[in-house]
Structure 1
């Protein structure tokens, strides 16, 4: 960050972001993608209340210094240097507790030969908080929960899902049948720790296989609404060209967003093992010329793909703590 930037640290989440110029703490948080609750933006609703733990800050309403330990409204406060705040309403990545919601089915449509785009509306949307890259479960009566990545940004009013379903995939097909025939569905969310709660400070490398693109779409839509200015590379691996169900959207991102590049990776149609080993996708990522010591990697796909990719990137020099995937949580190595 340049001259005049102040680092803001939020506790207990540990989230950090920068405030530049005369930006108030709430506006700076919004620019960094930090989800601070607010309504009025003039200090009346008190939803953005925090407590000053350390540093110097100014109340812009009365132009008075705020003493350490005092409460403040982030929309009416400017940092005069690096500061630390206590705000329990802001959760760290993956720390939101899952809750059950009844959602209205807004739209179910086929977007290629076996992928459906689902749009769901939560009547109490303001009660839901999740981070970009998290997932949810659809709970049908008498069936085990079915888990799907959330494809929409946390700032969107409706929830978007991408569900791959064929008659052979019984559980996914049951979900599609239920969504198509019903007006409401029961959800549990959010789940997942491989998510982003504020704009990262390093370049991003996103790797998806199949409908793993849904998680990457959530991350991209979220980051495009922040002040994030680092390069982003998206690799999307599919077996056949027709499996790249939203390739046009990824190509549009590349046109509209400076610093964003999209690399489609299409498997050899005659290689029956490609979908299991994902060697072509891993080789393409390795050949990307990325500085593995200065990048954050998010991967979404099958456990086989994710672990093959992680092993290859760590061998190439990526610090293990720079690799994020939900697979590491729900399918840990024994």
Structure 2
């Protein structure tokens, strides 16, 4: 049994089988909708039900609150249609030829630039073609059947190698494994590329990037890819961390600064020994202070959900940023296959 789903404003339609979520049903028909965690934790796939009934499934209240439900919103990675439905959501272009694969990889190197970040580089099979868009992520496929998701930190033109930035979360089983047990030449398996966090190249609007901690990883890939392609749109990166040591790629980012790119690090808890003379506080508040009007900008945000949500709410409600020009990849704790970094 299947149910017809209509998307607005595109008018595209597809049949969604009863065992599939709306997101799964759309992807099976080659229709790409925004998504991130695929487990009801990040809110990237939020759509508004215009007509019809659906079962919203199980999700985290931080990703979909009661007020949004009352307005008709649902998370399409969890929701299943009960009747024919019409859903308002923007579709994603630019991913038509990207194939999701399951592949082995070999740990090429593990570098720890500070106390709680590991930069992992993975070597792909020599004869395997793996295409992705800068900013997407992969899922490690673990032996116990669980998955752990990490953003790709390198650009697609760097073939044969994948770069990941892994933060050492207290109690995080996979991050503890990476920091304490994982060795070079270990073989791992992953699935990808996944996610719809990537640069929309059909726009010429200036860009504000907002990164929190290792949320810098996919943004690094996006910026390096844009520079490689010769994209000259004005870009400003705000990177929010606790103290100076957390700016683990500071020298690299400083080397990007030119007439088209600006870098503003923001420390929330600078140490006395940092002798910090730069910006302090919360990263989204630094952006608010610098931009009285974001109506002609795009914002790309990656980091903790509270940072992403605060940015979206304040930028759209007080600075005129169009909701459909805010692109995000909120990281969620690594529990039950939720999105991490």
Find the counterpart in structure 2 of residue 267 from structure 1.
Answer: 268
Q: How far 1:194 moved relative to its partner?
A: 1.7
Give the secondary-structure state (helix, strand or coil) at the position aligned to 2:166: strand
Q: Equivalent residue for 1:302?
A: 304
Q: Is the 8 A contact 1:209 1:302 kept in 2?
A: yes
Q: Secondary structure at the match of 1:131?
A: coil
Tell me if the contact between 2:137 and 2:193 (Cα under 8 Å) persists in the aligned partners. yes
Deviation of 1:94 after TM superposition, in Å, equals 8.1
Q: Is the contact between residue 109 and residue 184 of structure 2 (CA under 8 Å) also seen in structure 1?
A: no
User: Does the 8 A contact of 1:114 with 1:165 survive in 2?
Assistant: yes
Alignment partner of 2:249 out of 246, 250, 262: 246
Equivalent residue for 2:7? Answer: none
Per the alignment, do residues 211 and 252 of structure 1 end up closer, same or farther by CA in structure 2, a change over 3 Å counting? same
Measured at CA, do residues 182 and 328 of structure 1 come closer, stay the same or move farther in structure 2, by a change above 3 Å? closer
Q: For residues 215 and 299 of structure 1, what CA distance do their matches in structure 2 show?
A: 10
* Structure 1 CA distance for aligned equivalents of residues 143 and 265 of structure 2: 38
Please say if 1:192 is aligned against 2:195.
yes
User: For residue 325 of structure 1, what is the aligned residue in structure 2?
Assistant: 328
Q: Is the 8 A contact 2:215 2:331 kept in 1?
A: no
Deviations 1:281-301 (Å, cap 9, x if unpaired)? 111011223641211110000
Q: 2:284 is matched with which residue?
A: 282
* Mapped contact 2:243–2:268 kept (Cα < 8 A): yes
In structure 2, do the counterparts of structure 1 residues 164 and 328 end up closer, same or farther at CA, with 3 Å as the change threshold?
closer
Structure 2: distance between partners of 1:200 and 1:168 = 41
Structure 1: distance between partners of 2:223 and 2:232: 12
Contact 1:133 1:150 in 2 (8 A): yes
Shift of 1:196: 2.3
1:282-329 CA distance string (max 9 Å, x none): 110112236412111100001111001000100110000000012399
Contact kept, 8 Å, 1:253 with 1:260, in 2: the verdict is yes
SS of 1:152's equivalent? coil
When residues 161 and 209 of structure 1 are mapped into structure 2, their CA distance, relative to the original with a 3 A threshold, is same
- Contact 1:135 / 1:148 at 8 angstroms: preserved in 2? yes
Corresponding residue SS for 1:163: strand
CA distance 1:307–1:166, shift in 2 (3 Å): closer
Cα distance in 2 between the residues matched to 1:304 and 1:326: 12
Pair 229,188 (structure 1): closer, same or farther in 2 beyond 3 Å: same
TM-score normalised according to structure 1 size: 0.64
Does residue 159 (structure 1) correspond to residue 162 (structure 2)? The answer is: yes
Q: How far is the alpha carbon of 1:95 from its aligned partner?
A: 7.2
Write the deviation string for residues 110-163 of structure 1: whole angstroms up to 9, x where unpaired: 111110111111115652111011111122211521111100001112111111
- Please report how far the alpha carbon of residue 259 of structure 1 lies from its aligned counterpart in structure 2 after TM superposition: 1.2
Does residue 136 of structure 2 align to residue 108 of structure 1? no
For residues 325 and 164 of structure 1, do their structure 2 counterparts lie closer, same or farther at Cα, with a shift above 3 Å needed?
same
Q: Tell me how far apart the structure 1 counterparts of residues 205 and 331 of structure 2 sit (CA, whole Å).
A: 21
Describe the superposition over 1:186-224 as per-residue Cα deviations: whole angstroms up to 9, x where unpaired: 111111112126364111110000000101100111000
Q: Name the counterpart of 1:225.
A: 228
Map of 1:55-74 to 2, 5 A cutoff?
A: none
Q: 1:221 to 1:181 in 2, by over 3 A?
A: closer
Task: Please report how far the alpha carbon of residue 226 of structure 1 lies from its aligned counterpart in structure 2 after TM superposition.
Answer: 1.3
Distance 1:127 1:242, change over 3 A: same
Q: Tell me, in whole angstroms, the C-alpha distance in 2 between the residues paired with 1:105 and 1:328.
A: 23
Query: Hey, what does 1:134 align to over in structure 2?
Result: 136
Equivalent residue for 1:20? none
Aligned length: 233
Q: What is residue 170 of structure 1 aligned with on the other side?
A: 173
Confirm or deny: 8 A CA contact 1:204 1:233 kept in the other structure: yes
